[in-house]
């Protein structure tokens, strides 16, 4: 029996187990990143920060400066015609839904990027002071410029930019990402994406999937009571078919320092196709192409895409548009014009960080089976 077969069998047995850490230790192959070592580090840090009289220093940006009301992380959310979706997304990135964090630890910046149908004022009025809602003046069709602006005005030293405001978060995403960043100054923490529904939304929409059916699905798991139950009603996105166990094509809720974001150049504003084209995939390519950056993938955490008629999730990108050209061919042609080379997804595989909640065990098992079947 191969190691992957053994892991798959153990995952199957773990689907009803509350603690999967022994199994995860077998998955993290690199000795310097074994989960038991990281857990010991986190426990030592927790004790250190509980000591009376401890003063934070400017060289440790990941804890935040609570004395000055500075958040630990700023979440930047792009909204375009997402009056239904963004309120759920905002809730999913705020404590107490985000576990292990206090209300002042998280700043959320919602950037309304030219929506004909913006978020209702009565919804905005219900958000806490930690949420800033900003209408972008002279918005562009691509979200790249708005994302860069959000990073510029973010109050925290760590940011989590969401190019798609329809993506709800799992409950440990921010805390696990902040823990990963403690492993080094040049650390990039990626997350994988899922589509709410039993199939990819590009396929499901052809079979009658819509927002009303999605609302019933979300209600069926009593969200937001336990956000990890989103795994029960979701399918891996096309960019992460192997779930946490292979190279990914994009990440929709990366966590990194503002300093590193600025160093890699943020989102390239030359990607000006509506929706941004391959701007998000290009961002990941540039980050992971730098071998001096530690590249992590957060195990057991993810974002979950709500159906909203988006550019790439409401129809297949290989379908022809009215002009006879496919959406994908337009994307790759622009990429080649900007980068001077053909587009390809990263071959570099991330280092795994974190642990699995029980609710993610079955999806993790299927991901490993897909890797095994692919050879």
Collapsed DSSP state (helix, strand, coil) of residue 322: coil
Q: Which of 170, 353, 153 is nearest to 244 (CA)?
A: 353
Q: Domain of 249: which CATH number?
A: 3.90.550.10
**11-28 as b/e, with b when 16 or more CB fall inside 10 Å?**
bbebeeeeebeebbeebb
Cis peptide before 96 (omega within 30 of 0): yes
Question: How many angstroms from the chain centroid is the CA of residue 293?
Answer: 18
Domain hosting 301: range is: 61-308+326-373
Please give the order of strands across the beta sheet that includes 158-162. 131-135, 106-112, 73-79, 158-162, 256-257
pLDDT of residue 255: 98
Only one residue has tokens 């009376």, namely 52
Question: Do 169 and 192 touch, CB atoms closer than 8 A?
Answer: no
Question: How many angstroms from the chain centroid is the CA of residue 226?
Answer: 18
pLDDT of residue 98: 98
Q: How many domains are contained in the chain? A: 1
Q: Which two tokens stand for residue 274?
A: 């509506």
Output helix, strand, coil percentages for the chain, rounded to the nearest 5: 40, 15, 40
pLDDT of residue 278: 97
pLDDT of residue 119: 97
Residue 101 lies in a domain: yes
pTM for this model (two decimals):
0.81
Write a three-state SS string for 62-102.
HHCCHHHCCCCEEEEEEECCCCCHHHHHHHHCCCCCCCCCC
Residue 53 lies in a domain: no
Residue 47 lies in a domain: no
Residue 7 lies in a domain: no
Alpha helix ranges (H) inside the chain: 3-14, 21-27, 35-50, 85-92, 121-126, 144-153, 173-181, 201-204, 211-220, 258-264, 279-288, 327-339, 361-373
| pLDDT tens sequence for the chain (375 residues) | 544 444 445 555 544 444 444 444 444 433 334 444 444 444 444 443 333 322 222 233 344 444 448 999 999 999 999 999 999 999 999 999 999 999 999 999 999 999 999 999 999 999 999 999 999 999 999 999 999 999 999 999 999 999 999 999 999 999 999 999 999 989 999 999 999 987 665 766 766 778 889 999 999 999 999 999 999 999 888 777 788 988 899 999 999 999 999 999 999 999 999 999 999 999 999 999 999 999 999 999 999 999 877 554 545 566 666 777 898 999 999 999 999 999 999 989 999 999 999 999 888 888 888 778 776
Question: Do 155 and 71 touch, CB atoms closer than 8 A?
Answer: yes
Rounded CA gap, 34 and 28, in Å?
Answer: 6
Question: Do 278 and 334 touch, CB atoms closer than 8 A?
Answer: yes
pLDDT of residue 9: 52
Q: Which of 191, 177, 174, 180 is nearest to 96 (CA)?
A: 174
Collapsed DSSP state (helix, strand, coil) of residue 111: strand
Residue 340 lies in a domain: yes
pLDDT of residue 201: 57
Residue 129 lies in a domain: yes
Residue 22 lies in a domain: no
pLDDT of residue 371: 77
| Length of the chain as a residue count | 375
Rounded CA gap, 267 and 264, in Å?
Answer: 9
Q: Which two tokens stand for residue 343?
A: 């587009």
Residue 140 lies in a domain: yes
């Amino acid at each position: 029996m191969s190691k992957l077969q053994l892991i798959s069998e153990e995952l199957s047995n773990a689907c009803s187990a509350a603690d999967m850490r022994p199994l995860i230790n077998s998955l993290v192959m690199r000795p310097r990143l074994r989960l038991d070592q990281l857990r010991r580090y986190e426990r030592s840090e927790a004790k250190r920060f509980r000591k009376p009289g401890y003063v934070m220093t400017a060289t440790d940006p990941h804890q935040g400066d609570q004395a000055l009301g500075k958040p630990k992380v700023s979440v930047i959310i792009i909204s375009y015609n997402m009056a239904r979706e963004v309120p759920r997304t905002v809730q999913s990135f705020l404590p107490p839904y985000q576990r292990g964090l206090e209300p002042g630890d998280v700043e959320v910046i919602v950037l309304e990027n030219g929506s004909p149908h913006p978020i209702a004022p009565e919804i905005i009025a219900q958000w806490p002071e930690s949420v800033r809602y900003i209408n972008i003046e002279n918005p562009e069709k691509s979200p790249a410029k708005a994302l860069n602006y959000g990073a510029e005005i973010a109050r925290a030293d760590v940011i989590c930019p969401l190019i798609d405001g329809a993506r709800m978060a799992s409950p440990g995403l921010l805390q696990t990402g902040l823990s990963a960043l403690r492993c080094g100054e040049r650390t990039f923490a990626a997350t994988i994406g899922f589509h709410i529904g039993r199939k990819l939304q590009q396929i499901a929409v052809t079979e009658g999937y819509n927002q009303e059916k999605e609302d019933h699905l979300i209600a069926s798991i009593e969200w937001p009571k336990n956000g990890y139950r989103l795994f029960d009603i979701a399918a891996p996105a096309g960019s992460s078919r192997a779930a946490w166990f292979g190279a990914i094509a994009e990440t929709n809720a990366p966590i990194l320092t503002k300093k590193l974001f600025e160093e890699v150049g943020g989102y390239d504003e030359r990607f000006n196709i509506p929706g941004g084209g391959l701007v998000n995939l290009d961002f990941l390519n540039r980050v992971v192409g730098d071998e001096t950056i530690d590249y992590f993938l957060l195990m057991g955490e993810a974002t979950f895409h709500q159906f909203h008629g988006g550019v790439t999730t409401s129809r297949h990108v290989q379908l022809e548009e009215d002009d006879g050209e496919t959406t994908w061919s337009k994307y790759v042609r622009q990429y080649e014009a900007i980068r001077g080379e053909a587009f390809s997804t990263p071959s570099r595989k991330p280092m795994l960080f974190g642990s699995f909640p029980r609710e993610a065990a079955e999806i993790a098992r299927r991901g490993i089976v897909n890797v095994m079947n692919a050879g």
